Amino acid sequence: MTDAAELVDNDFLRQFELKTGNDFAKIEYSLQERKIFLTKLIIPEEVTDQNFAGNFLKLVFENVEERNLSVVPTSPEIAKFIRRNRQYKKLLPVGLRI
């Protein structure tokens, strides 16, 4: 399904992209200091795999962790993912609780 080589960090549009057939799944972000604010998750309608969004978010969090950034989820879907996957809570900035 997803391969780390497919994940693209599009600096110009400030979004992570993952090719899905003829379209892209996207996570829009804003980068401020050492924090990345994940603002919007967009999954194309053509994607029917129930695990796609979770796998996409895992790739993004691995990328963020490698860059040594803190994650501030402003999207409800992304915050819900972090609540369900506690191993990513370590990426939250000090004092931020979800």
d(CA 35, CA 54): 21
pLDDT tens digits along 33-66 = 999 999 999 999 998 888 999 999 999 999 999 9
Find the domain containing 43 and state its range. Answer: 4-91
User: Does the pLDDT at position 93 exceed 50?
Assistant: yes
Sheet holding 15-20, edge to edge: 8-10, 15-20, 23-32, 35-42, 70-73
Residue 96: the pLDDT is: 85
Residue 32: the pLDDT is: 94
Q: Is residue 37 part of a domain?
A: yes
Q: Is residue 66 part of a domain?
A: yes
Q: Is residue 60 part of a domain?
A: yes
- Residue 98: pLDDT band (50, 70, 90) is confident
Q: Is residue 98 part of a domain?
A: no
Q: Is residue 97 part of a domain?
A: no
Q: Is residue 72 part of a domain?
A: yes
User: Does the pLDDT at position 70 exceed 90?
Assistant: yes
How many domains are there within the chain?
1
Q: Is residue 13 part of a domain?
A: yes
Q: Give me the mean pLDDT over the 79-98 stretch.
A: 91
Residue 21 sits in a domain whose CATH number is: 3.40.630.30
| φ, ψ (nearest 5 deg) of residue 18 | -140, 120
Percent of the chain whose predicted confidence (pLDDT) is above 90:
78
